[in-house]
Chains A and B, each alone.
Chain A
């Protein structure tokens, strides 16, 4: 849990909104309300009033993607049951993990005390799919069909071995709490493409009690709070406190806001304080959100064919499938970063039974999202990412039987996939050893992965920085290199 070295980069991208406004003497009159979601971007907004974040449209590199939909599989899906085909594990099922493979690497306290570490071959069949002949497990039949659209990285690696540090690391580039999340960085850098919706939206499949999720994973850390991810939930209030109180109609609310505007206009005149203008605009924005958020959440105008594509779950609000469909709708409306979580991938025991359920819940809708974006012409500039915080061990945690086994956390190698947004389709990248224990070729560290995602969005990860406590922080901390082989 250590940071490496502290490297800085280009200054200026670290001022508070007020400092920016004040320094440049800008007033707020007539500025589009969208900016107020990220007022720091005001300075960067052009005459059209669009919020372009601190980059102000001055991309560091030509952008290939405009937005990201990140399907986060919390808990750590097994690479050996999904994309990393290892027949030798079956051939040597039950044999001890060779010391030459483990190389003294640390294990968690869960399996580290086991007296035996028997290799566990996957119970699931693998077959080659698509033009590239990519190996995919039988658990993912829908994903297998779109494999030529995917860019699969089998050589991911991370530093952390426990859930909390690992997922915090993946979401914020640091195992230490208090850093901004990926979506907050993107929002800070690029601003928003929609005046009536937050730029960074979080969706969670409810009812999955497993490894918990925490507000910090989509928090803004030391960035101003407007960069926080806004959770959209199924049910009455899609956004917290969005609905008017019982008994208050939209008309009544409008009356209140009109008179409030009068009060504020009067105050602005009296005080000459621009912050009051900001406040007027914020109230209008919140009023519009009351319409725009339910609008985007309302799936009733989606076709039967679309529901069929995503699977029958997609008609049930809050399910992973419905959230994937919602993610597409948010992408259509220009939301920059959709972070979608699906918990339940932590298969220490009963892996065959549980991973089958997890795949069943996610496979069809994940593939449908890619298909749907593609046919709507959105896949070109929307990057879809699928993956968890680490992989799993090739030896069984607990007892290995003919029909059952478990797998412990494994940070040394795991698989993720990406689609669209400027990545190479049909690519399988990186190689692990025969035991899926170590990366033998082309490792992609979490920092490298972040650097690559930012690069696809047009950002040099070393130059999107924020000055805090005297240091320029960035998503990739002090390392990370763009993996150009993944980029189309």
Chain B
């Protein structure tokens, strides 16, 4: 009940002073009168100077003393002393320690390089003397749901926001400012709700009729406009760290635009904000999750990813989960929980165990720590983005395949009679192999392949042994260039003899692939996992692959005949492993293969030719060290048990003869299999072209989560289970312990953070700063709310109104507080420079996106298309090249040059320079706040970036076409289009003078005008006089560089 503090005028006086002193960084001098306010004056001081050693972090806690909880602060000591003895500073150890001159006892200790000023010491002492009021941190307390509107003395505002703000102003002896001019208000409203300037028509209409009804109509229209969703997305995308590339060094492109478009559409449909959060956290876990609910979960996959060669997979996978947790903390809880990755939080009640308990929610998807360098596979788990016709076609094919498979089963049950009638031969004729490496002879660096006729190549000299087998070192290999390339729809079999000679964790024996993690293991592979046979077909490991592993290892020091058969089904059950002619028991490692295992240049794979069959080693993988291999054969059929046995020189059990009959003799089955294969090939071709997006999808068995010592991936400690921080409300008993339960916990009305964080963020969109100025930190070190009662009122109302975002906007923008003029008398500026009391209207610099967008709008260039892949507008040449990735910026042309800035291609390691100059982020990590500092480089962008020069010229042309004979009217039009009001007489005179001067300048330099008018891709209107148009372009450019163009007042 923080709000209670503000009922007394005395407390208020102090509180206001504290606010203006920017509490949270440097507590102010105490006011001469009035009680000390714990929340505003004492707790921030204790947090900042004491909690580091006497706070939530148990491991660093000195003298077993903690001051962040009541029990600790009032702990009793010997001889009638206490840490803090209410009312008795002379018996309070805290007071003694902060006031002593003895450097051994002094607090904070000198080596901490922290200190307390004399005023701060006096304040703490006075707090003790006054009885040492103590409260938990404000944001941990529940949102007050019964806050009464303050009674305003002077008037009775109809909007509750005004009631809170006025009550405060009255106590301060301040009055609200008069309403903003209609021009200023419509501009403010348009930018706040759409990110775009108002049309000249809107300005004129509203200036003519600035009634409440007209204002309501404007609000309705802006909230209903599709530009609203784009504007809301602009802010959210910083938090979501949305970008068009993976980040880290190679920074490869990956398209996540369906997620961005979902965000836009969610805001436009006014999806309740609790749903907005829930879908992103756990849309995949909702009952019958829809495609867009799954797409929303891409939020958790927007973190950076690496493919840097040699990176340790688990190290980076851990980083990804960490990023998810930290982003959740900053964007949804408003807490800096990342501190607790390595140790208990120093300032807030978040333990390291809490951190990993949250980590456990996000640790359970079947992902890899590295994306593929050689392929363009979408890192798993992912969602296929079918078009409707594709999906229908796919369903048809899948249906047909099921029918054929069911038919085959029935057919096989009834084929017994035919089988019994067949003669049973003693031996079968083996199919002809398509690869046969006998390894009997080596000629230089070649060894014959009797099946293909093309010899295989020995790389780094595997050695022919006495037993005419090849001996491999682990680093050398044999590549068979003639071996046919096999895909996931091809039934095939592979047989060889091999001998292990030493224990090895991992050994690559045979594969058709290019690399291990560098390629997501794309291809097929026979490897040994601690001696156990693993065979897999892989599009991207682990989430798009099938693989089985034998339960027992192959013997050491003895030959084994190993055969693998595969039926072309893309199912783990379609793989059989035989050792010495007998099927052996295997376990399924993965069973989810839905795209091909070969390389596809059209799908973006980095390939000039398909990787070939290779024996003994693989790029950056662990080869078959001192392993022996002999007599490798590959068949383009799934060998039957009888065939495998015959190949291995053993007797097949009688039961498998029936299978052999079905596969080789029984024509109906043979025909149906051919039919099935045809469908599989069609399905494979269809799905290959379907793009995917990374999303969340739980693994059936959760991955165990451990607390990590100092946050290091390779220092796991005790197991932890999914849970929410112990100091916050408990995880709801009736919810599943997964991300969906987490989302329910987050959006429960008992959660003190989410609603306040959201309301504060939306408030900031309108006022330039939040009620809590540190929107990224509601914790102990963050700023206190300037209007705590108002914050809680809005949060409670927001929840009661079912998290209706548009209603919240409406409430804010209809307040008189919002509609005030932002002009401030010097006295008010001096008293309240940051406008924390809201005695005037908001003023803020526009975001980078809005600055560029409004230039495009004013020039009539803006292309209003919504969504789709990101676009590449003008950018100075050479930036991407110079970063050393070997990639070139391919600028778009036509309409794509003029899309809204939130569609601009965002390369994390080289973000759009003009936007970054205006404070846009690289989007490498979640950021809640942009800086809006003014720098000279910004002037250069507005003056010289072709985007702005072209927009100026187009607007000049437009003005000229409209008013060919009237200079002042042209200037007025341009001014109004860019600034939203008409120039006053002084401004009009300045613009006219500039036009005359520039006109003379261009007239005396005849070539100059043509050059200026040629900037940009759009063609100039050649009917207009060049010199004058160039001069007018300069005039427009001057207006675009005028303060009011970038500042919203």
Contact = CB atoms under 8 A, between A and B. Distances in A.
A276 B1014 contact: no
Contacts of B919: 225
A404 to B, nearest CB: 13
Interface string A55-99: 000000000000000000000000000000000000000000000
Contact of A177 (B304, B315, B341): B304
B782 interface: yes
Interface stretch (A16-24, A350-358, A377-385): A16-24
Contacts of B466: none
B776 A241 contact: no
Tell which of A178, A241, A251 has the most Cβ of chain B within 10 Å: A241
A440 interface: no
Given A1-B711, A252-B998, A255-B998, A212 B935 contact: no
B876 A4 contact: no
Contact of A282 (B306, B881, B934, B987): B934
Interface centre among B26, B309, B823, by most A CB within 10 Å? B309
A275 B343 CA distance: 42
B319 to A, nearest CB: 6
A225 B884 contact: no
Interface residues of B, number: 132
A112 B310 CA distance: 8
Contact of A216 (B710, B825, B922): B922
A33 to B, nearest CB: 8
Interface string B290-314: 0000000000000010101111110
A169 B36 CA distance: 44
Interface stretch (A301-309, A362-370, A430-438, A461-469): A461-469
Interface string B752-788: 0000000000000000000000101101111000000
B290 to A, nearest CB: 34
27 contacts: A8-B52, A10-B113, A37-B936, A115-B473, A115-B475, A161-B312, A163-B249, A164-B249, A204-B882, A206-B878, A206-B881, A211-B249, A212-B249, A212-B883, A213-B883, A213-B884, A214-B251, A215-B910, A215-B911, A224-B933, A241-B937, A244-B943, A245-B943, A264-B1043, A266-B987, A282-B939, A471-B339
A248 B934 contact: no
Most chain A beta-carbon contacts within 10 A, residue among B710, B936, B987 = B936
Contacts of A463: 113
A161 B308 CA distance: 11
A30 interface: no
Interface stretch (B152-160, B670-678, B827-835, B958-966): B827-835
B711 A247 contact: no
Nearest to B779: A470
B944 A242 contact: yes
Interface string A1-17: 11111111111101111
A263 interface: yes
Interface of A: 1-12, 14-19, 21-23, 25, 36-37, 39, 106, 108-116, 161-164, 176-178, 204, 206, 208-216, 219, 224-226, 228, 230, 233, 235, 237, 239-249, 251-253, 255-256, 259-260, 262-264, 266-267, 271-273, 275-276, 278-279, 282-283, 285-286, 289, 343, 399, 408-409, 462-463, 467, 469-471
B1010 interface: yes
A282 B712 contact: no
The SS class assigned to the A binding surface is loop
B938 interface: yes
A286 B939 contact: yes
A225 B931 contact: yes
Nearest to A216: B922
A207 B935 CA distance: 30
Nearest to B879: A240
B82 interface: no
B1042 A1 contact: no
Given A8-B52, A233-B882, 14 more contacts: A1-B713, A6-B346, A19-B834, A162-B306, A212-B250, A215-B883, A225-B916, A241-B940, A252-B1001, A256-B994, A267-B1042, A275-B1047, A289-B940, A399-B460
A297 B152 CA distance: 64
Contacts of B1014: 246-247
Given A241-B941, A259-B991, A469 B310 contact: no
Given A247-B1011, A275-B1047, A470 B939 contact: no
Contacts of A219: 922
Interface in B861-885: 876, 878, 881-885
A255 B997 contact: yes
B934 to A, nearest CB: 5
Interface stretch (B280-288, B890-898, B1030-1038): B1030-1038
A225 B990 contact: no
A233 B878 contact: yes
Nearest to B845: A275
Nearest to B48: A11
Contact of B1009 (A17, A111, A247, A343): A247
A247 B1013 contact: yes
B1042 A242 contact: no
Contacts of B991: 259
B269 to A, nearest CB: 33
B130 interface: no
B936 A343 contact: no
Interface in B923-974: 924-925, 927, 931, 933-941, 943-946, 949
B347 interface: yes
B943 A286 contact: yes
Given A6-B339, A248-B1012, A11 B319 contact: no
A189 to B, nearest CB: 16
B606 interface: no
A109 B311 contact: yes
A343 B884 contact: yes
Contacts of B993: 259
Contacts of A228: 916
Contacts of A162: 306, 308, 310-311
Given A215-B911, A242-B940, A249-B1001, A2 B710 contact: yes
Contacts of B824: 272
Contacts of B119: none
A255 B943 CA distance: 13
A1 B323 CA distance: 12
Contacts of A178: 922, 924-925, 927
B321 to A, nearest CB: 12
Given A115-B475, A263-B1042, A470 B781 contact: yes
B623 interface: yes
Contacts of B342: 2-5
Nearest to A208: B884
Nearest to B1001: A252
A112 B621 CA distance: 8
B341 A2 contact: yes
A247 B1030 contact: yes
A488 B445 CA distance: 61
A52 B782 CA distance: 28
A159 B341 CA distance: 18
Contacts of B1002: 252
B251 A212 contact: yes
A281 to B, nearest CB: 9
B884 A211 contact: yes
B60 interface: yes
- Leading 4 A-B pairs by shortest Cβ distance: A470-B781, A115-B474, A247-B1011, A22-B833
Nearest to B304: A177
Contacts of A239: 937, 940
B776 A243 contact: no
B876 A240 contact: yes
A1 to B, nearest CB: 6
A37 B935 contact: yes
A253 B1012 CA distance: 12
B399 interface: no
Q: Which of A21, A209, A260, A470 is the most central at the interface, judged by chain B CB atoms within 10 Å of its CB?
A: A470
B909 interface: yes
